[in-house]
Structure 1
């Protein structure tokens, strides 16, 4: 693989870009013409342009885009689209360019990217290539978050029209609706030989810095070789409800040093009863699971001010 400096120089000089946009989503479909206009105005050499209208074809579409050997693969969509694309470019000599076309855009926020499309495209011309970490949940790479509990039901039941109307507030409001019938569970997180036990309705294990569009902690990073596990509330519904409302309205989070966080490079997660995992929006795996980091797992285009370690 090229050095990050050489890769950045190649993108700035040659502008060889392949584009994949999820036009199945309402935002992707609405903004697709603007995306193409901005890329052409930026004088990018578009070696392939692909619209995804069937999510089951995303993998084949990304692989077809990569066949053109672009320096930069621009992907437009939400966190699910981006996370699904990432596993196909991990450890490859191509950088990911992110177009934030989702509801919460957690991955874009974790990279410090602007959410305005024109400014996001400008990063491709003026930014730099960075290597960031991925998480690995079982055999499933993820960019942002693996979660367990009420959020799995939220992911399966939140209505598309609610997301369109309410944006990122759709998730906590759906959680509030589901919470009265949700049963708490025990989770056991083993890190560095130490076993932590919690009783909760919701447990998250984060690689990225944001969840639901709000920052998890002031000092968390997507590029520090560590995962962060944390619970929302406890086994008491009212406490989870209160914390959900506070964070949905203020985005207030504590420091990793003072908050209810468990951090490490690898975690064994067991739950009673066994739980399904929501891995960046896809509900697939079940506990017990080993979750670990993949240091420098993928190359991305980020603003010049991004701290790349």
Structure 2
């Protein structure tokens, strides 16, 4: 396994890369040809390039790209695409390159990658390899978060045309429609020998520092060796709406040292009644669930001035 510095040097010197773009992501179809042209213009020798029109084929196509032995596997799409690529590249001697073409692009924000395509390509040209953590929902790696309750319903039911039209604002709009008939949950999080109880419509367990395109706390990140568990809003619909609106307008006002955040490296999550679970926007069964952490599991190409603990 090469060091981060050696892998960075090989990427800069050899420009051996594979490009895979999910054309079902918000800007994937629109920008695929542009992205390929920008990479070629930057001197990348693309060992393979593919626009994926059927998202279920992403794991196979990404695996075929990895088999070509690139130094950099470039994934273009939203958080679901990036999460799929990250699972494949966990503990591999290949860096993940990010082209944020999705709706909220949470992991790209966590990795300090610009959302502008040209600037994202510039990161691949002049950036450096950093190590980031992955979460583990059972045995399934994830980049961003596990959502339980209303959040899972929203992520799984938000219409694709609405996401293309409104971007991240499609999620709160979908939530408003679902909230009228959603009942709050009694949620228990067991960690470090203690039990923490919440009464809320939804709870998140996050690996990275962003959710729904917003920071979740002032000091949460994907290289801090911690998972963050936190409810959004209380048991009443009004509390949830007020907190969600405040966070959307101003961002989070709390840090991990303050309630309601619980920062640990492993936890057990259960609910008073079975509740649906989504992992990085994809269905992942229901509660209860063990959630853990794989520290330094993923190598990512990030800006040269990105923090690297």
**Same fold per superposition (TM over 0.5):** yes
Match of 2:161 in 1: 161
Q: Is the 8 A contact 1:266 1:291 kept in 2?
A: yes
1:36-185 superposed matches below 5 A:
36-185=36-185
Query: CA shift at 1:164, angstroms?
Result: 1.9
Q: Is the 8 A contact 1:172 1:248 kept in 2?
A: no
Instruction: Give deviations 1:59-116, integer Å, cap 9, x for gaps.
Output: 1101110111000000000000110111111101100000000000000000111000
Match of 1:200 in 2: 200
* Two-structure CA RMSD over aligned residues (Å): 1.0
Give the paired residue count: 309
Instruction: Give deviations 1:107-155, integer Å, cap 9, x for gaps.
Output: 0000111000000011111110011100000121100010101111112
* Contiguous gaps of at least 5 residues in structure 1: none
Q: Is the 8 A contact 2:145 2:206 kept in 1?
A: yes
* Contiguous gaps of at least 5 residues in structure 2: none
Higher mean C-alpha deviation, range 45-54 or range 12-21: 45-54
Q: Is the 8 A contact 1:35 1:117 kept in 2?
A: yes
- Residue 88 of structure 2: SS of its match in structure 1? helix
* TM-score in terms of structure 1 length: 0.98
Q: Is the 8 A contact 1:215 1:253 kept in 2?
A: no
Query: CA shift at 1:245, angstroms?
Result: 1.2
- Residue 27 of structure 2: SS of its match in structure 1? helix
Instruction: Give deviations 1:254-279, integer Å, cap 9, x for gaps.
Output: 11112310110000111110212110
- 1:307 lines up with 2:296 in the alignment: no
For 1:210 and 1:293, locate their aligned partners in 2 and report how far apart those are by CA, in whole Å: 17
Query: CA shift at 1:170, angstroms?
Result: 1.2
For 1:208 and 1:25, locate their aligned partners in 2 and report how far apart those are by CA, in whole Å: 20
Query: CA shift at 1:25, angstroms?
Result: 3.2
